Amino acid sequence: MLINRKEVEQIAVLAKLHVSESEIDAIVTSLDSIVEMINHISEVNTDNTKPMANPMDAVQRLRADEVTETSIKEKLLSMATQTDEDYFLVPTVVE
Amino acid sequence: MNNSTQWETVIGLEIHTQLKTNSKLFAGTDTTYGASPNSHVSMLEAAMPGTLPVFNEKVLRYAIRFGLAVGAKVIAKESTFDRKNYFYPDSPKGYQITQLNHPIVEHGTLTIQDKNGNDKIIRINRAHIEEDAGKSVHDKYAEFSGIDLNRCGTPLIEIVSEPDLSSAKEAVTYMKEIHSIVTHLGICDGNLQEGSFRCDANVSIRPVGQNELGTRTELKNINSFRFVEKAINIEIKRQIKLLESGGKVTQETRLYDSDKNETRPMRSKEEANDYRYFPDPDLLPVVIDQAYIDNEKQYIPEFPAAKIIRYTQGLEIKPDDAKIIAQDKSLAEFFDETVKSLKQAKAKTAANMLLGEFSALLNSNDVKVEDNNLNVAQFVGLLEALAEGKISHKIAKTIIEKMWGTNLLAEEIIKTEGLGQVSDSGELETIVKEIINNNQSQFAAYKEGDMKMFNYFVGQVMKQTKGRANPAQVKTILEKS
Protein backbone atom coordinates (compact mmCIF):
# COMPACT_ATOMS: atom_id res chain seq x y z
CA MET A 1 0.00 0.00 0.00
CA LEU A 2 1.39 3.42 -1.02
CA ILE A 3 -1.22 5.37 0.86
CA ASN A 4 -2.90 4.81 4.22
CA ARG A 5 -6.10 5.79 6.03
CA LYS A 6 -4.42 8.54 7.99
CA GLU A 7 -3.19 10.23 4.85
CA VAL A 8 -6.62 10.07 3.27
CA GLU A 9 -8.15 11.67 6.36
CA GLN A 10 -5.47 14.37 6.32
CA ILE A 11 -6.01 15.14 2.63
CA ALA A 12 -9.77 15.31 3.21
CA VAL A 13 -9.22 17.92 5.94
CA LEU A 14 -6.92 19.99 3.73
CA ALA A 15 -9.34 19.79 0.80
CA LYS A 16 -12.28 20.57 3.11
CA LEU A 17 -14.05 17.38 1.99
CA HIS A 18 -16.31 15.43 4.27
CA VAL A 19 -15.42 11.75 4.14
CA SER A 20 -17.45 9.32 6.22
CA GLU A 21 -15.83 6.47 8.09
CA SER A 22 -17.42 3.86 5.77
CA GLU A 23 -16.02 5.51 2.63
CA ILE A 24 -12.40 5.63 3.70
CA ASP A 25 -11.36 2.09 2.76
CA ALA A 26 -12.70 2.44 -0.77
CA ILE A 27 -10.94 5.78 -1.20
CA VAL A 28 -7.67 4.32 0.07
CA THR A 29 -7.86 1.53 -2.53
CA SER A 30 -8.75 3.88 -5.35
CA LEU A 31 -6.14 6.55 -4.46
CA ASP A 32 -3.56 3.84 -4.03
CA SER A 33 -3.99 2.66 -7.60
CA ILE A 34 -3.71 6.23 -8.85
CA VAL A 35 -0.50 6.84 -6.92
CA GLU A 36 0.87 3.56 -8.22
CA MET A 37 0.18 4.59 -11.79
CA ILE A 38 1.68 8.06 -11.34
CA ASN A 39 4.73 6.59 -9.66
CA HIS A 40 5.87 5.12 -12.96
CA ILE A 41 7.08 8.60 -13.78
CA SER A 42 9.89 8.27 -11.25
CA GLU A 43 11.28 5.30 -13.21
CA VAL A 44 12.34 7.69 -15.97
CA ASN A 45 15.97 8.69 -15.83
CA THR A 46 16.02 12.51 -15.55
CA ASP A 47 19.74 13.00 -14.94
CA ASN A 48 20.13 15.07 -18.06
CA THR A 49 16.72 16.65 -18.12
CA LYS A 50 16.27 20.32 -17.32
CA PRO A 51 13.51 20.98 -14.76
CA MET A 52 10.37 22.02 -16.57
CA ALA A 53 7.73 24.30 -15.14
CA ASN A 54 5.38 23.90 -18.06
CA PRO A 55 5.14 21.40 -20.93
CA MET A 56 4.48 24.09 -23.53
CA ASP A 57 7.34 25.49 -25.52
CA ALA A 58 6.30 29.06 -24.90
CA VAL A 59 7.02 31.86 -22.48
CA GLN A 60 4.73 34.04 -20.41
CA ARG A 61 3.09 36.91 -22.24
CA LEU A 62 3.26 40.25 -20.49
CA ARG A 63 0.43 42.71 -20.12
CA ALA A 64 0.74 46.51 -19.99
CA ASP A 65 -0.17 48.02 -16.61
CA GLU A 66 -3.55 49.42 -17.62
CA VAL A 67 -6.97 49.29 -16.05
CA THR A 68 -9.20 47.49 -18.53
CA GLU A 69 -11.86 46.09 -16.22
CA THR A 70 -14.91 47.92 -14.93
CA SER A 71 -16.74 47.18 -11.72
CA ILE A 72 -19.02 44.15 -11.80
CA LYS A 73 -19.87 44.52 -8.14
CA GLU A 74 -23.65 44.25 -8.52
CA LYS A 75 -23.33 41.10 -10.59
CA LEU A 76 -20.95 39.46 -8.15
CA LEU A 77 -22.92 40.42 -5.06
CA SER A 78 -26.14 39.15 -6.63
CA MET A 79 -24.60 35.67 -6.85
CA ALA A 80 -23.74 35.51 -3.15
CA THR A 81 -26.05 33.87 -0.63
CA GLN A 82 -25.63 36.72 1.83
CA THR A 83 -24.33 40.26 1.55
CA ASP A 84 -24.48 43.47 3.53
CA GLU A 85 -23.34 46.98 2.58
CA ASP A 86 -21.39 45.57 -0.38
CA TYR A 87 -19.63 42.95 1.75
CA PHE A 88 -19.93 39.23 1.10
CA LEU A 89 -20.97 37.58 4.35
CA VAL A 90 -19.47 34.28 5.43
CA PRO A 91 -19.67 32.37 8.72
CA THR A 92 -17.41 34.05 11.28
CA VAL A 93 -13.72 33.42 10.72
CA VAL A 94 -11.79 34.60 13.72
CA GLU A 95 -8.08 34.48 14.02
CA MET B 1 19.01 26.78 31.71
CA ASN B 2 19.41 29.09 34.67
CA ASN B 3 19.09 32.81 35.15
CA SER B 4 22.75 33.47 34.51
CA THR B 5 22.47 32.34 30.88
CA GLN B 6 23.28 35.14 28.44
CA TRP B 7 20.81 35.20 25.59
CA GLU B 8 21.27 36.26 22.05
CA THR B 9 18.40 37.24 19.76
CA VAL B 10 18.05 36.11 16.15
CA ILE B 11 15.53 37.86 13.92
CA GLY B 12 14.58 37.51 10.29
CA LEU B 13 12.00 39.76 8.61
CA GLU B 14 9.56 39.13 5.80
CA ILE B 15 8.36 42.41 4.40
CA HIS B 16 5.31 42.54 2.17
CA THR B 17 5.63 45.50 -0.15
CA GLN B 18 2.60 46.45 -2.18
CA LEU B 19 3.67 47.63 -5.61
CA LYS B 20 2.41 50.95 -6.92
CA THR B 21 0.75 49.77 -10.11
CA ASN B 22 -2.45 50.95 -11.76
CA SER B 23 -3.80 47.46 -12.24
CA LYS B 24 -3.60 44.14 -10.44
CA LEU B 25 -0.98 41.43 -10.81
CA PHE B 26 -2.90 39.19 -13.19
CA ALA B 27 -5.83 41.27 -14.50
CA GLY B 28 -6.57 44.83 -15.61
CA THR B 29 -8.48 45.57 -12.41
CA ASP B 30 -8.12 48.93 -10.65
CA THR B 31 -5.89 48.86 -7.54
CA THR B 32 -6.81 52.28 -6.12
CA TYR B 33 -7.01 52.12 -2.33
CA GLY B 34 -10.15 53.01 -0.40
CA ALA B 35 -12.87 52.14 -2.92
CA SER B 36 -16.21 50.84 -1.65
CA PRO B 37 -16.11 47.11 -0.84
CA ASN B 38 -15.90 44.73 -3.80
CA SER B 39 -15.97 47.44 -6.49
CA HIS B 40 -12.48 46.52 -7.71
CA VAL B 41 -13.04 42.84 -8.33
CA SER B 42 -12.97 41.23 -11.75
CA MET B 43 -14.02 37.74 -12.77
CA LEU B 44 -10.43 36.65 -12.16
CA GLU B 45 -10.23 37.75 -8.53
CA ALA B 46 -13.71 36.31 -7.96
CA ALA B 47 -12.20 33.02 -9.23
CA MET B 48 -14.86 32.46 -11.87
CA PRO B 49 -14.31 29.30 -13.93
CA GLY B 50 -12.58 29.91 -17.23
CA THR B 51 -10.59 32.95 -16.16
CA LEU B 52 -6.84 32.96 -16.72
CA PRO B 53 -4.11 35.14 -15.24
CA VAL B 54 -2.10 37.51 -17.48
CA PHE B 55 1.07 38.89 -15.91
CA ASN B 56 1.47 42.65 -15.41
CA GLU B 57 4.81 43.70 -16.87
CA LYS B 58 5.18 46.65 -14.49
CA VAL B 59 5.40 44.22 -11.60
CA LEU B 60 8.28 42.40 -13.26
CA ARG B 61 10.12 45.65 -13.91
CA TYR B 62 9.57 46.93 -10.36
CA ALA B 63 10.84 43.65 -8.88
CA ILE B 64 13.95 43.87 -11.08
CA ARG B 65 14.56 47.43 -9.88
CA PHE B 66 14.40 46.28 -6.29
CA GLY B 67 16.87 43.50 -7.09
CA LEU B 68 19.26 46.00 -8.66
CA ALA B 69 18.91 48.34 -5.68
CA VAL B 70 19.98 45.66 -3.18
CA GLY B 71 22.76 44.36 -5.42
CA ALA B 72 21.10 40.98 -5.89
CA LYS B 73 23.41 38.28 -7.23
CA VAL B 74 20.46 36.69 -8.97
CA ILE B 75 17.86 38.44 -11.05
CA ALA B 76 16.32 35.41 -12.67
CA LYS B 77 16.27 35.24 -16.45
CA GLU B 78 13.66 32.58 -15.99
CA SER B 79 11.29 32.78 -13.04
CA THR B 80 8.16 30.74 -12.44
CA PHE B 81 4.94 30.91 -10.45
CA ASP B 82 3.67 28.38 -7.93
CA ARG B 83 0.40 27.83 -6.16
CA LYS B 84 0.24 27.93 -2.38
CA ASN B 85 -2.96 26.12 -1.46
CA TYR B 86 -5.13 27.05 1.50
CA PHE B 87 -8.77 27.84 2.10
CA TYR B 88 -9.70 31.20 3.48
CA PRO B 89 -12.66 33.37 2.50
CA ASP B 90 -10.54 36.35 1.46
CA SER B 91 -8.97 34.27 -1.31
CA PRO B 92 -11.74 32.76 -3.45
CA LYS B 93 -9.42 30.69 -5.67
CA GLY B 94 -8.31 28.59 -2.72
CA TYR B 95 -4.67 29.32 -3.48
CA GLN B 96 -2.24 32.19 -3.68
CA ILE B 97 -0.02 32.61 -6.72
CA THR B 98 3.54 33.12 -5.50
CA GLN B 99 7.11 32.19 -6.47
CA LEU B 100 8.52 29.36 -4.39
CA ASN B 101 11.08 27.62 -6.56
CA HIS B 102 12.37 30.23 -8.97
CA PRO B 103 11.85 33.70 -7.51
CA ILE B 104 12.74 36.77 -9.54
CA VAL B 105 15.31 38.13 -7.03
CA GLU B 106 17.80 36.25 -4.84
CA HIS B 107 20.82 37.01 -2.65
CA GLY B 108 20.85 40.74 -2.13
CA THR B 109 22.39 42.68 0.74
CA LEU B 110 21.63 45.76 2.71
CA THR B 111 24.03 47.60 5.00
CA ILE B 112 22.68 49.00 8.24
CA GLN B 113 24.35 50.55 11.27
CA ASP B 114 24.47 48.48 14.46
CA LYS B 115 24.21 49.95 17.95
CA ASN B 116 27.90 50.88 17.97
CA GLY B 117 27.54 52.76 14.71
CA ASN B 118 29.42 50.09 12.76
CA ASP B 119 28.32 48.85 9.37
CA LYS B 120 26.51 45.55 9.41
CA ILE B 121 25.52 43.64 6.31
CA ILE B 122 22.06 42.09 6.34
CA ARG B 123 21.61 39.42 3.69
CA ILE B 124 18.40 39.34 1.73
CA ASN B 125 17.57 35.75 0.89
CA ARG B 126 15.02 36.55 -1.80
CA ALA B 127 12.31 38.87 -3.05
CA HIS B 128 9.50 37.12 -4.84
CA ILE B 129 6.37 38.26 -6.61
CA GLU B 130 3.01 37.24 -5.19
CA GLU B 131 -0.59 38.34 -4.98
CA ASP B 132 -2.25 39.91 -1.95
CA ALA B 133 -5.45 38.51 -0.42
CA GLY B 134 -8.72 40.35 0.22
CA LYS B 135 -9.73 41.67 3.61
CA SER B 136 -11.98 40.12 6.24
CA VAL B 137 -13.98 42.38 8.51
CA HIS B 138 -14.60 40.72 11.87
CA ASP B 139 -15.86 43.43 14.18
CA LYS B 140 -18.79 44.62 12.08
CA TYR B 141 -20.98 41.53 12.51
CA ALA B 142 -21.68 39.18 15.41
CA GLU B 143 -22.24 35.98 13.44
CA PHE B 144 -20.52 36.76 10.18
CA SER B 145 -17.31 37.96 8.72
CA GLY B 146 -17.59 40.55 5.97
CA ILE B 147 -15.42 39.95 2.91
CA ASP B 148 -14.01 42.73 0.74
CA LEU B 149 -12.03 41.44 -2.24
CA ASN B 150 -10.72 44.81 -3.47
CA ARG B 151 -7.18 44.05 -2.32
CA CYS B 152 -7.33 40.54 -3.74
CA GLY B 153 -4.75 40.13 -6.51
CA THR B 154 -2.85 43.35 -5.75
CA PRO B 155 0.83 42.82 -6.59
CA LEU B 156 3.32 42.37 -3.77
CA ILE B 157 6.96 41.60 -3.51
CA GLU B 158 7.81 39.71 -0.36
CA ILE B 159 11.31 40.60 0.77
CA VAL B 160 12.80 37.87 2.95
CA SER B 161 15.90 38.59 5.02
CA GLU B 162 18.29 36.00 6.41
CA PRO B 163 18.22 35.73 10.23
CA ASP B 164 20.98 38.35 10.47
CA LEU B 165 19.28 40.84 12.76
CA SER B 166 20.21 40.65 16.41
CA SER B 167 17.90 43.11 18.15
CA ALA B 168 14.53 44.74 17.80
CA LYS B 169 16.36 48.02 17.10
CA GLU B 170 18.29 46.48 14.21
CA ALA B 171 15.06 45.00 12.85
CA VAL B 172 13.47 48.44 12.80
CA THR B 173 16.57 50.02 11.24
CA TYR B 174 16.53 47.38 8.50
CA MET B 175 12.79 47.81 7.93
CA LYS B 176 13.19 51.60 7.66
CA GLU B 177 16.04 51.14 5.22
CA ILE B 178 13.95 48.84 2.99
CA HIS B 179 11.12 51.35 3.26
CA SER B 180 13.44 54.12 2.11
CA ILE B 181 14.64 52.01 -0.84
CA VAL B 182 11.19 51.07 -2.15
CA THR B 183 9.88 54.60 -1.76
CA HIS B 184 12.98 56.16 -3.39
CA LEU B 185 12.55 53.70 -6.25
CA GLY B 186 8.92 54.75 -6.46
CA ILE B 187 7.76 51.14 -6.62
CA CYS B 188 5.73 51.37 -3.38
CA ASP B 189 3.86 54.28 -1.81
CA GLY B 190 5.20 53.14 1.58
CA ASN B 191 1.94 53.85 3.38
CA LEU B 192 2.03 51.69 6.49
CA GLN B 193 -1.43 52.69 7.69
CA GLU B 194 -3.03 51.52 4.47
CA GLY B 195 -1.08 48.27 4.62
CA SER B 196 1.18 48.98 1.64
CA PHE B 197 4.20 47.97 3.72
CA ARG B 198 3.75 45.16 6.24
CA CYS B 199 6.13 43.05 8.20
CA ASP B 200 6.26 39.55 9.69
CA ALA B 201 9.08 38.88 12.14
CA ASN B 202 10.65 35.49 12.87
CA VAL B 203 12.08 35.67 16.37
CA SER B 204 14.18 33.17 18.30
CA ILE B 205 16.75 33.26 21.09
CA ARG B 206 19.75 31.07 21.92
CA PRO B 207 22.44 31.06 24.58
CA VAL B 208 25.41 33.20 23.52
CA GLY B 209 27.97 31.02 21.81
CA GLN B 210 25.50 28.39 20.61
CA ASN B 211 25.51 27.82 16.88
CA GLU B 212 22.16 26.17 16.29
CA LEU B 213 19.16 28.47 16.10
CA GLY B 214 16.51 28.26 18.79
CA THR B 215 12.88 27.47 17.98
CA ARG B 216 11.32 30.51 16.36
CA THR B 217 7.91 32.07 16.51
CA GLU B 218 6.46 34.20 13.74
CA LEU B 219 4.89 37.55 14.59
CA LYS B 220 2.34 38.40 11.91
CA ASN B 221 1.36 41.55 10.10
CA ILE B 222 2.91 44.33 12.11
CA ASN B 223 2.22 47.59 10.38
CA SER B 224 4.17 50.27 12.18
CA PHE B 225 7.87 50.77 12.90
CA ARG B 226 7.13 51.37 16.57
CA PHE B 227 5.10 48.21 16.95
CA VAL B 228 7.76 46.08 15.27
CA GLU B 229 10.22 47.11 17.93
CA LYS B 230 7.74 46.66 20.78
CA ALA B 231 6.40 43.33 19.49
CA ILE B 232 9.86 41.82 19.05
CA ASN B 233 11.05 43.03 22.45
CA ILE B 234 8.03 41.65 24.26
CA GLU B 235 8.39 38.35 22.38
CA ILE B 236 12.08 38.08 23.32
CA LYS B 237 11.16 38.66 26.97
CA ARG B 238 8.47 35.98 26.78
CA GLN B 239 10.84 33.42 25.26
CA ILE B 240 13.58 34.10 27.82
CA LYS B 241 11.14 33.75 30.69
CA LEU B 242 9.79 30.54 29.22
CA LEU B 243 13.21 28.94 28.71
CA GLU B 244 14.57 30.06 32.07
CA SER B 245 11.63 28.48 33.87
CA GLY B 246 12.33 25.18 32.14
CA GLY B 247 9.74 25.50 29.36
CA LYS B 248 10.09 25.19 25.61
CA VAL B 249 9.27 27.59 22.76
CA THR B 250 6.64 26.18 20.40
CA GLN B 251 7.02 26.98 16.72
CA GLU B 252 3.86 28.92 16.01
CA THR B 253 2.39 32.08 14.58
CA ARG B 254 1.67 34.76 17.14
CA LEU B 255 -0.26 37.97 16.99
CA TYR B 256 0.91 41.20 18.63
CA ASP B 257 -1.76 43.01 20.63
CA SER B 258 -0.71 46.65 20.83
CA ASP B 259 -3.33 47.51 23.45
CA LYS B 260 -2.09 44.92 25.92
CA ASN B 261 1.50 44.97 24.63
CA GLU B 262 1.65 41.19 24.47
CA THR B 263 1.91 38.48 21.85
CA ARG B 264 -0.45 35.52 21.81
CA PRO B 265 -0.84 32.45 19.63
CA MET B 266 -2.95 32.94 16.55
CA ARG B 267 -5.47 30.23 15.90
CA SER B 268 -3.99 28.53 12.89
CA LYS B 269 -5.58 29.13 9.49
CA GLU B 270 -5.74 25.38 9.12
CA GLU B 271 -4.89 22.37 11.18
CA ALA B 272 -1.69 21.51 9.44
CA ASN B 273 0.55 23.99 7.65
CA ASP B 274 0.62 21.99 4.45
CA TYR B 275 0.34 24.31 1.50
CA ARG B 276 0.95 21.64 -1.16
CA TYR B 277 2.87 23.99 -3.42
CA PHE B 278 3.04 23.11 -7.11
CA PRO B 279 3.89 25.01 -10.31
CA ASP B 280 0.90 27.03 -11.51
CA PRO B 281 -0.20 25.41 -14.78
CA ASP B 282 -1.98 28.61 -15.86
CA LEU B 283 1.27 30.57 -16.04
CA LEU B 284 4.30 30.04 -18.24
CA PRO B 285 7.88 30.74 -17.25
CA VAL B 286 8.75 34.45 -17.33
CA VAL B 287 11.78 34.69 -19.60
CA ILE B 288 13.90 37.85 -19.92
CA ASP B 289 17.42 38.60 -21.14
CA GLN B 290 20.28 40.66 -19.69
CA ALA B 291 19.37 43.67 -21.84
CA TYR B 292 15.92 43.70 -20.28
CA ILE B 293 17.48 43.80 -16.80
CA ASP B 294 20.08 46.41 -17.80
CA ASN B 295 17.36 48.65 -19.17
CA GLU B 296 15.95 49.01 -15.65
CA LYS B 297 19.23 50.41 -14.31
CA GLN B 298 18.32 53.87 -15.56
CA TYR B 299 15.51 53.95 -13.00
CA ILE B 300 17.76 53.34 -10.00
CA PRO B 301 18.49 56.60 -8.17
CA GLU B 302 21.47 57.15 -5.89
CA PHE B 303 20.28 56.24 -2.40
CA PRO B 304 20.95 58.32 0.74
CA ALA B 305 23.36 55.67 2.08
CA ALA B 306 25.53 55.94 -1.04
CA LYS B 307 25.28 59.74 -0.94
CA ILE B 308 26.47 59.80 2.66
CA ILE B 309 29.53 57.76 1.73
CA ARG B 310 30.26 60.01 -1.24
CA TYR B 311 29.91 63.13 0.92
CA THR B 312 31.96 61.94 3.90
CA GLN B 313 34.70 60.12 2.03
CA GLY B 314 34.97 62.08 -1.19
CA LEU B 315 34.08 65.56 0.00
CA GLU B 316 35.15 65.36 3.65
CA ILE B 317 31.79 66.46 4.97
CA LYS B 318 31.08 65.73 8.65
CA PRO B 319 28.99 62.51 8.96
CA ASP B 320 26.12 64.27 10.74
CA ASP B 321 25.97 66.98 8.09
CA ALA B 322 26.25 64.46 5.25
CA LYS B 323 23.31 62.55 6.69
CA ILE B 324 21.07 65.62 6.91
CA ILE B 325 21.83 66.65 3.33
CA ALA B 326 21.59 63.14 1.87
CA GLN B 327 18.25 62.35 3.42
CA ASP B 328 16.58 65.46 2.04
CA LYS B 329 16.22 64.80 -1.66
CA SER B 330 15.99 68.42 -2.82
CA LEU B 331 18.70 69.65 -0.46
CA ALA B 332 20.98 66.91 -1.80
CA GLU B 333 20.24 67.91 -5.38
CA PHE B 334 21.03 71.56 -4.63
CA PHE B 335 24.23 70.55 -2.86
CA ASP B 336 25.33 68.26 -5.71
CA GLU B 337 24.72 71.00 -8.29
CA THR B 338 26.66 73.47 -6.16
CA VAL B 339 29.64 71.18 -5.69
CA LYS B 340 29.80 70.55 -9.44
CA SER B 341 30.35 74.28 -10.09
CA LEU B 342 32.83 75.05 -7.32
CA LYS B 343 36.31 76.21 -8.31
CA GLN B 344 38.31 77.47 -5.33
CA ALA B 345 35.66 77.05 -2.66
CA LYS B 346 35.46 73.79 -0.72
CA ALA B 347 32.46 71.47 -0.60
CA LYS B 348 32.78 71.53 3.16
CA THR B 349 32.16 75.29 3.25
CA ALA B 350 29.17 74.76 0.96
CA ALA B 351 27.75 72.15 3.36
CA ASN B 352 28.31 74.40 6.37
CA MET B 353 26.59 77.34 4.77
CA LEU B 354 23.81 75.17 3.36
CA LEU B 355 22.97 73.81 6.79
CA GLY B 356 23.72 77.11 8.52
CA GLU B 357 22.69 80.39 6.90
CA PHE B 358 20.81 78.83 3.98
CA SER B 359 18.68 76.52 6.14
CA ALA B 360 18.06 79.33 8.61
CA LEU B 361 16.67 81.45 5.78
CA LEU B 362 14.51 78.55 4.55
CA ASN B 363 13.10 78.15 8.06
CA SER B 364 12.52 81.80 8.83
CA ASN B 365 10.77 82.31 5.48
CA ASP B 366 8.95 78.97 5.75
CA VAL B 367 9.93 77.92 2.23
CA LYS B 368 11.57 74.90 0.64
CA VAL B 369 14.75 74.51 -1.37
CA GLU B 370 12.76 73.90 -4.53
CA ASP B 371 10.98 77.25 -4.15
CA ASN B 372 14.22 78.63 -5.55
CA ASN B 373 14.66 81.75 -3.41
CA LEU B 374 18.35 81.31 -4.01
CA ASN B 375 19.70 79.56 -7.08
CA VAL B 376 22.80 77.45 -7.40
CA ALA B 377 24.70 80.12 -9.38
CA GLN B 378 24.10 82.71 -6.65
CA PHE B 379 25.21 80.30 -3.95
CA VAL B 380 28.34 79.30 -5.86
CA GLY B 381 29.24 82.95 -6.47
CA LEU B 382 28.99 83.67 -2.77
CA LEU B 383 31.16 80.69 -1.84
CA GLU B 384 33.79 81.66 -4.39
CA ALA B 385 33.92 85.26 -3.15
CA LEU B 386 34.49 83.88 0.34
CA ALA B 387 37.15 81.44 -0.82
CA GLU B 388 38.99 84.18 -2.73
CA GLY B 389 39.11 86.30 0.42
CA LYS B 390 36.98 89.07 -1.13
CA ILE B 391 34.61 88.92 1.81
CA SER B 392 34.65 87.66 5.37
CA HIS B 393 32.32 84.99 6.66
CA LYS B 394 30.37 87.65 8.51
CA ILE B 395 29.82 89.62 5.32
CA ALA B 396 28.86 86.41 3.50
CA LYS B 397 25.98 86.11 5.91
CA THR B 398 24.86 89.63 5.08
CA ILE B 399 25.13 88.95 1.37
CA ILE B 400 23.14 85.72 1.41
CA GLU B 401 20.33 87.62 3.12
CA LYS B 402 20.48 90.35 0.49
CA MET B 403 20.49 87.82 -2.34
CA TRP B 404 17.47 86.00 -1.00
CA GLY B 405 14.49 86.21 -3.33
CA THR B 406 16.46 88.18 -5.93
CA ASN B 407 18.57 87.04 -8.84
CA LEU B 408 21.49 89.23 -7.79
CA LEU B 409 24.91 87.65 -7.74
CA ALA B 410 27.32 88.06 -4.82
CA GLU B 411 29.74 90.06 -7.02
CA GLU B 412 27.07 92.63 -7.80
CA ILE B 413 26.06 93.07 -4.16
CA ILE B 414 29.68 93.37 -3.04
CA LYS B 415 30.24 96.09 -5.61
CA THR B 416 27.07 98.13 -5.15
CA GLU B 417 27.09 97.94 -1.35
CA GLY B 418 30.85 98.32 -0.97
CA LEU B 419 31.16 95.15 1.05
CA GLY B 420 34.53 94.01 -0.27
CA GLN B 421 37.04 93.06 2.36
CA VAL B 422 39.65 95.70 3.14
CA SER B 423 42.91 93.95 2.44
CA ASP B 424 44.84 97.02 1.43
CA SER B 425 47.45 97.12 4.20
CA GLY B 426 48.07 100.85 3.82
CA GLU B 427 44.41 101.64 4.36
CA LEU B 428 44.19 99.21 7.27
CA GLU B 429 47.33 100.59 8.93
CA THR B 430 45.90 104.09 8.87
CA ILE B 431 42.72 102.86 10.53
CA VAL B 432 44.65 100.90 13.20
CA LYS B 433 46.88 103.89 13.96
CA GLU B 434 43.90 106.16 14.38
CA ILE B 435 42.26 103.74 16.78
CA ILE B 436 45.45 103.36 18.82
CA ASN B 437 45.74 107.16 19.07
CA ASN B 438 42.22 107.44 20.37
CA ASN B 439 42.71 104.64 22.91
CA GLN B 440 46.14 105.24 24.46
CA SER B 441 45.48 103.65 27.85
CA GLN B 442 44.08 100.44 26.28
CA PHE B 443 47.06 100.32 23.98
CA ALA B 444 49.42 100.60 26.94
CA ALA B 445 47.64 97.72 28.63
CA TYR B 446 47.98 95.70 25.45
CA LYS B 447 51.68 96.37 25.34
CA GLU B 448 51.91 95.18 28.97
CA GLY B 449 50.62 91.86 27.68
CA ASP B 450 46.86 92.10 28.31
CA MET B 451 45.49 89.87 25.55
CA LYS B 452 41.92 91.01 26.23
CA MET B 453 43.04 94.34 24.85
CA PHE B 454 44.25 92.66 21.67
CA ASN B 455 40.72 91.43 21.02
CA TYR B 456 39.42 94.87 21.92
CA PHE B 457 41.45 96.42 19.14
CA VAL B 458 40.45 93.79 16.59
CA GLY B 459 36.84 94.51 17.54
CA GLN B 460 37.36 98.25 17.10
CA VAL B 461 38.85 97.78 13.64
CA MET B 462 35.97 95.54 12.60
CA LYS B 463 33.51 98.11 13.88
CA GLN B 464 35.20 100.88 11.99
CA THR B 465 35.30 98.87 8.76
CA LYS B 466 31.82 97.38 9.27
CA GLY B 467 33.30 93.90 9.35
CA ARG B 468 35.13 94.29 6.08
CA ALA B 469 38.67 94.12 7.43
CA ASN B 470 40.68 91.02 6.79
CA PRO B 471 41.15 89.64 10.33
CA ALA B 472 44.51 88.03 9.60
CA GLN B 473 45.88 91.32 8.34
CA VAL B 474 44.56 93.27 11.33
CA LYS B 475 46.36 90.81 13.56
CA THR B 476 49.69 91.30 11.77
CA ILE B 477 49.43 95.07 11.91
CA LEU B 478 48.56 95.07 15.60
CA GLU B 479 51.43 92.75 16.40
CA LYS B 480 53.83 95.12 14.67
CA SER B 481 52.42 98.24 16.38
Q: Map out the domains of chain B as residue ranges.
A: 7-298, 302-417, 425-480
Neighbours of A84 (CB within 10 A): 13
CB contact (8 A) between residue A91 and residue B88? no
With cut-offs at 50, 70 and 90, classify the pLDDT of residue B271.
low
Q: Each residue of B20-39: pLDDT tens digit?
A: 999 999 999 999 999 999 99
Global model pTM greater than 0.90: no
**Side chain identity, residue B181:** I
Picking from B288, B298, B294, the residue whose alpha carbon sits closest to that of residue B57 is B288
CA distance, residue B355 to nearest chain A CA (Å): 42
Query: Which one of A14, A73, A84 has the shortest CB-CB distance to B39?
Result: A73
Higher-scoring residue by pLDDT: B270, B400: B400
Candidate from A69, A82, A95 with C-beta closest to B28? A69
Do B23 and A66 count as a contact with CB atoms less than 8 A apart? Answer: yes
Is the pLDDT score of B3 beyond 80?
no
- pLDDT for B270: 47
pLDDT tens profile B202-237:
999 999 989 999 999 999 878 899 999 999 999 999
Mark the ranges of chain A whose per-residue pLDDT is less than 50. Answer: none
Dist CA B189 CA B198 (whole Å): 12
Of the listed ranges A89-93, B125-129, B139-143, B271-275, the one predicted with least confidence: B271-275
Q: What percent of chain B has pLDDT over 90?
A: 64
Any idea which fold B425-480 has?
A: Arc Repressor Mutant, subunit A (1.10.10)
pLDDT tens profile B411-442: 888 888 777 776 666 777 888 888 888 888 88
Q: Taking all residues of chain B, what is their mean pLDDT, rounded to a whole number?
A: 90
Q: What percent of chain B is predicted at pLDDT more than 70?
A: 97
pLDDT of residue A17: 92
From chain A, pick out residues whose CB is under 8 angstroms from the CB of B287.
Answer: 59-60
Which ipTM value was assigned to this complex? Answer: 0.89
Name the closest residue on chain A to residue B265, using Cα atoms: A95
In the prediction, which pLDDT does A35 show?
Answer: 94
Of B407, B419, B420, B360, the closest CA to residue B379 belongs to B407
pLDDT of residue B453: 83
Q: Angle at which helices B168-185 and B225-244 pack, to 10 degrees? A: 150
B419 residue type, one letter: L
Which residue in chain A is spatially nearest to B141 when comparing CA positions? A92
Binary contact (A69, B42; C-beta < 8 A)? yes
Q: Name the minimum distance, in Å, from the CA of B101 to any CA of chain A.
A: 10
Q: What is the DSSP string of B68-101?
A: HHTT-SEE-SEE--EEEE---TT-TTSEEEE-SS
